[in-house]
Amino acid sequence: MNRSQPKYTALITGANAGIGLELARKLLAEGWQVVALNRSEFPADDASIEKARKSSQLRIYKVTDLADYGGLRRALQQIKSNEHQIDILFNNAGGSFPELSYSKQGREKHYEVMTVVPYIVLMELKELLKNGSLKTVINTSTSAIKFTKELSIEILERPKTFRKLIGPYATSKLALSLWSQAIAPQLAKDDIKIRSVDPGGNNTLRKGKNSGLPLLVKPLMKLFFPPPTKGASLLYEGALGKQRTKSGVFLLKGQVAELKFQNQAQHVLDRVKAIYEHEFLQ
């Protein structure tokens, strides 16, 4: 496979900063068409991004809040109207929030943005994936899921306690990986493969942004964590590397790893499917 052929198109959510930005830069440099679904602007001083935007190699769609179904619906409709195909969908948007908060729909914000919305994006853009040649979905997960001690729909949607990074953030990412596993047989009918990938620890700290990281993690991140190019490379390899023929798997350091609470996978899938059909589509 010649990965630099411009016929390939990737859609990246959260492509304006951190791992998503580095992934966009990498793909653009290889000649890919990149479709970005972002909440914020790209860095204004990035010459390569600006050049790609002006040539339409990079096409940007904005949504102020991914958890706002009205805005998300409009952005996805614009993508469906303007784009012909998607070869790889990178569901990458999300982050750790500093405190317990809820979406307009009344669900915990990590869960809404990082478990439910990726399912909505996949379902809405499925026809574009079917038009592509690679037909691949990569959901950004995390190794922090190993800290999850209990999991249920009730805990995901309305947690009784809040802990930074290893609380709702980790459980929501685990739920994302679980529904990715459960939906794989269904997507296989359309030759679509799906994997969830841990991009590893990356220094994604940004000035002026109140992250949801525990206090002790921030100095460690500054000193010891690699730049987000590392995470971008792991997502890239998760999509195009040696595991590219597998579907429904969780990749940790490039290897297939077991998920906790696999008995909950179908429950999570059923719940996000119900939210999509009864709330988003209505």
Judge whether 79 lies within some domain. Answer: yes
pTM, to two decimals: 0.92
Domain count within the chain: 1
Domain holding 57: CATH number? 3.40.50.720
- Which one, of 27, 228, 1, lies nearest residue 11 by Cα? 27
Judge whether 2 lies within some domain. Answer: no
Q: Which DSSP helix (H) or strand (E) runs through 199?
A: none
Judge whether 3 lies within some domain. Answer: no
Phi, psi of 200 (to 5 degrees): 75, 180
Residues 162-174 pLDDT 10s: 998 899 999 999 9
Residues 69-87 pLDDT 10s: 999 999 999 999 999 999 9
Judge whether 117 lies within some domain. Answer: yes
- Which one, of 217, 224, 201, lies nearest residue 163 by Cα? 217
- Dist CA 213 CA 218 (whole Å): 7
DSSP code per residue over 89-145: EEE------SS--B-TTSSBHHHIIIIIHHHHHHHHTHHHHHHSSS-EEEEE--GGG
Torsion of CA 140, 144, 146, 151, to 10 degrees: -80
Residues 86-123 pLDDT 10s: 999 999 998 888 899 999 999 999 999 999 999 999 99
Structural domain containing residue 269: 9-280
Give the per-residue pLDDT at 129. Answer: 98
- Which one, of 5, 21, 249, 33, lies nearest residue 128 by Cα? 33
DSSP code per residue over 34-55: EEEEESSPPPTT-HHHHHHHHT
Judge whether 124 lies within some domain. Answer: yes
Judge whether 126 lies within some domain. Answer: yes
| Greatest Cα pair distance in the chain | 49
Confidence band of 200 (pLDDT split at 50, 70, 90):
confident
- Dist CA 152 CA 167 (whole Å): 13
Judge whether 233 lies within some domain. Answer: yes
Give the per-residue pLDDT at 214. Answer: 61
User: Is 138's pLDDT higher than 70?
Assistant: yes
Confidence band of 4 (pLDDT split at 50, 70, 90):
very low
